[in-house]
Structure 1
Amino acid sequence: MFSGKRPTNELFGGNFTMRSYIKSAWPERVLDVADKWILQNGLRIGFPVAECLTLVLDVGLRCSEESPTNRLAMSEVVKK
């Protein structure tokens, strides 16, 4: 939702997945992987887009850890 890309996008293949794409940009370059619609609308109204994307993408990355034991519990997701 936040990148504007689908997991089946031609960009992804082999070991390069949507998760690795987001992880490669987090936290310093989150605006580089953000959907342009989010950027245009958020920046237009003065919303702190980079700060919010950093937080949301962190939760997404932590929820999509390869090992289920390393993933955030839903109770922690709600708090974040």
Structure 2
Amino acid sequence: MFSGKRPTDEMFGGDFTLRSSIRSALPEQVLDVADDLILHNGLRIGFPVAECLTKVLEVGLGCS
């Protein structure tokens, strides 16, 4: 939901999965894996997008 990608996206295959993509991006490159709509809306209202996305994605990884 936060990356805008599905686990079945053609960019994923073999050992490269949605989960591994997100895990390798945290925390420094979190904005690189985020859906553009989240970034656009968050930046518009001045919300700390990177910090919040990192926390949410860490919870998601911990639960998967």
TM interval, short-chain normalised: over 0.9
Which residue in 2 is equivalent to 1:23?
23
Which amino acid in structure 1 is aligned with residue 17 of structure 2? T
TM-score of the aligned structures, taking structure 2 as reference length: 0.97
Using structure 1 for the length normalisation, give the TM-score: 0.78
CA distance in 2, matches of 1:6, 1:54: 19
List structure 1 segments (4+ residues) > 4 angstroms apart after TM superposition. none
What are the within-5 Å matches in structure 2 for residues 36-47 of structure 1?
Answer: 36-47=36-47
Letter in 2 for 1:50: A
Residue deviations 1:22-50, cap 9 Å, x none? 00101111000000000000001101100
Higher relative contact order (CA 8 A, sep 6+): 2
Match of 1:51 in 2: 51
Gaps (5+ residues) in structure 1? Answer: 65-80
1:4 alignment partner in structure 2: 4
Between the aligned residues of both structures, percent identity stands at: 78
Q: CA RMSD in A?
A: 0.5
